[in-house]
Structure 1
Amino acid sequence: MIVTIHQPNLFPWLGYFDKMMQADAFILLDHVPFTKGGFQNRVQLKGANGPQWLTVPVATKGKLGQPTSDVECKDTLPWKKDHLKTIDANYRGTPNFNEIYPCLEYLYQNTNSAKLVDFTEPGIKWMREAMGIQTPMMKASELEASGSGSELLCQLVRSVGGTVYLSGPSGKDYLDERHFDEYGIRVDYHRFDMFPYPQRYGAFAGGLSGLDYLFHVKKPLERRITA
């Protein structure tokens, strides 16, 4: 049983969903420290002037090291309205705009956003379904696991009956594979080769939110390369 684990990012890129597709279970790592400047609360879209950031403002002052699950959105700012305007401006006229935009509009208008994960988790679930991915999702905070680093990952994989941990490629730099051996868990490393698809505004840009793919293509995401 293959298990993969990742933080609950904002409208993630295609590599995130490809890794999810390769696994039998996907765990949202929602209780580790929030990473400021990462992709948990921001992602890039493509506009007429190239890639641009879409960011959910969050309260971080004086809260260094707070768990991701505790990060609060700054709902005093009109970020939801601003996001929808940006998405509309960038993607109106794309092949799937009339299907995708109303779903996003509903998500923004009807999803609780007191905390960041209250918004990002439903977004990931919706994107997963739109891409035809059926891998079950669960939250680390609801599983029986403790510790940090490789120990935490081993316990999470074991808690759902996993025998293989599918890591991102950067895991080669920090995972202690001997620790996984002690748990009887094999470590595989995911590889995703970004592929071009029809896209507006000049040369193809990779690494964008999967929303860009959904607006332009919206066909089930095809299985790519794992190595």
Structure 2
Amino acid sequence: MLVTIHQPNFLPWLGFFDKMADADLLVVLDHVGFEKGGYQNRVRVKGPSGEQWLTAPVNTAGRCGAPIHEVELNHRTPWGRNHRLTLRQFYGKTPGYAAQEELLETLYGGRPERLVDFTVPALGHLAGALGVSTPVVLASSLGVGGRRSELLCALVREVGGTAYLSGPSGRDYLDEEVFRRHGIEVHYHSFRPFAYPQPFGPFAPAMSTLDYLFNDPSREAWTSHRAGRQATGGARVTPELSA
């Protein structure tokens, strides 16, 4: 069983779901420290003036490095309503916007207390919109500790995995020997953004998956991309573990 592990990013880009789709199980790494200025509470969208951040404000004062699943959302400003107004302004005339209004209502219709109360369900809703059905498990529910490669390896073993699918940056920090000792293969995911129609100038990759859903309601580009991945067994590379 191929397991991938990732922090619960905020309305993430297509590369997140491409890795999720290549795996048999996604472990959401929600019990590690929150990173200010990262992608855990913000994502980019594209408007008339170019790329812009959508940010969900959080309460982190005096709690630097708090576990992600404990981070609370800050509702002193109506950030959810503001997000929806921005999305309507940027994407209201795109071919897929009307079809995704129900999704937006699902995403923003409540008043979640914690950041993960928004981001984790959102991952499921966006995955479903793309036709990705990979099961999801929260790391915080597994009772597994450790740091860096030891933690990742322990999580894979805890869920019964036999192989780990890392992002490409894992080459810079993974200790493959840790996985080798436990008989777990390491694979590296590779995703090359594909172009699809976008308003407001040249194509900009790495936008929120919402950008894609608004602009390609038929999901033709995604379907074609995934068909190509499946034909080649997924664009992942396995290092020599027997060396």
Q: Same fold (TM over 0.5)?
A: yes
CA distance in 1, matches of 2:236, 2:149: 21
Alignment-derived partner of residue 69 in structure 2: 69
Alignment-derived partner of residue 6 in structure 1: 6
Instruction: Name the aligned partner's letter for residue 101 of structure 1.
Output: E
**Count, aligned residues:** 226
Q: 1:226 aligns with which of 210, 230, 236?
A: 236
Q: Deviations over 1:163-212 (max 9, x none)?
A: 11000011111111000001110111110001101111110000111110
Q: Deviations over 1:81-114 (max 9, x none)?
A: 100100110100111111112321232113x421
Q: How does 1:84-163 map to 2 (within 5 A)?
A: 84-110=84-110, 112-163=111-162
The TM-score with structure 2 as length reference comes to 0.90
CA distance in 2, matches of 1:189, 1:80: 35
Q: How does 1:53-68 map to 2 (within 5 A)?
A: 53-68=53-68
The TM-score with structure 1 as length reference comes to 0.96
CA distance in 1, matches of 2:182, 2:61: 39
Alignment-derived partner of residue 167 in structure 1: 166
Segments of structure 1 that go 5 or more residues without pairing to the other structure are none
CA distance in 2, matches of 1:74, 1:11: 18
Alignment-derived partner of residue 193 in structure 2: 194
After TM superposition, where is structure 1 displaced by more than 4 Å over at least 4 residues in a row?
Answer: none
Alignment-derived partner of residue 36 in structure 2: 36
Indicate conservation of the 8 Å contact 1:128/1:134, yes or no.
Answer: yes
Instruction: Name the aligned partner's letter for residue 27 of structure 2.
Output: I
CA distance in 2, matches of 1:128, 1:141: 21
Instruction: State the superposition RMSD in angstroms.
Output: 1.1
Segments of structure 2 that go 5 or more residues without pairing to the other structure are 230-234, 238-243
Indicate conservation of the 8 Å contact 1:75/1:113, yes or no.
Answer: no
Identity, % of aligned pairs? Answer: 51
